[in-house]
């Protein structure tokens, strides 16, 4: 897990920050984050989502995490990631 060392605790003066629109969570839940790509915990949910939907018997956490990273960068969509995952781990792979 990567630690964010630039976390700002500026929650106290929220009245001026309301106008700023926070990005939507990249997991597709439709909720806004507090400035990151994901609502805390939703990146992990997306990793397991990809493994559940993409893997047929073999799960690769490292690869799923990598794909989630690409989703958070906006490089690929969630369905792209699942398709990609299936390509890497086709049926019958030992």
Out of 2, 15, 20, 42, point to the residue binding Zn ion (CB under 5 A).
42
Q: How far is the CB of 25 from Zn ion (least distance, A)?
A: 3
Residue 25 is a binding residue for Zn ion (CB under 5 A): yes
Instruction: Select the span of 1-9, 33-41, 66-74, 83-91 touching Zn ion (CB under 5 A).
Output: 33-41
Out of 9, 10, 13, 27, point to the residue binding Zn ion (CB under 5 A).
27
> Which residue from 26, 36, 42, 34 is spatially nearest to 77, judged by alpha carbons?
26
Rounded-to-integer distance, Cα 43 and Cα 51, Å: 13
Residue 49 is a binding residue for Zn ion (CB under 5 A): no
Residue 81 CB neighbours (<10 A): 25
Residue 29 is a binding residue for Zn ion (CB under 5 A): yes
> Which residue from 41, 30, 26, 23 is spatially nearest to 78, judged by alpha carbons?
26
Nearer to Zn ion, 43 or 89 (CB): 43
CB 49 within 8 A of CB 43: no
Can you give the binding site for Zn ion, defined by CB under 5 A?
Answer: 25, 27, 29, 39, 42
């Amino acid at each position: 897990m990567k630690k964010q060392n630039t976390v700002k605790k500026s929650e106290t003066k929220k009245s001026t920050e309301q106008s700023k629109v926070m990005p939507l969570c990249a997991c597709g839940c439709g909720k806004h984050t507090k400035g990151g790509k994901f609502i805390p915990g939703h990146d992990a949910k997306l990793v397991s989502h990809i493994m559940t939907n993409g893997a047929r018997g073999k799960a690769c956490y490292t690869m799923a995490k990598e794909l989630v990273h690409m989703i958070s960068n906006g490089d690929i969509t969630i369905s792209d990631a699942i398709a990609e995952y299936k390509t890497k781990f086709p049926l019958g792979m030992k």
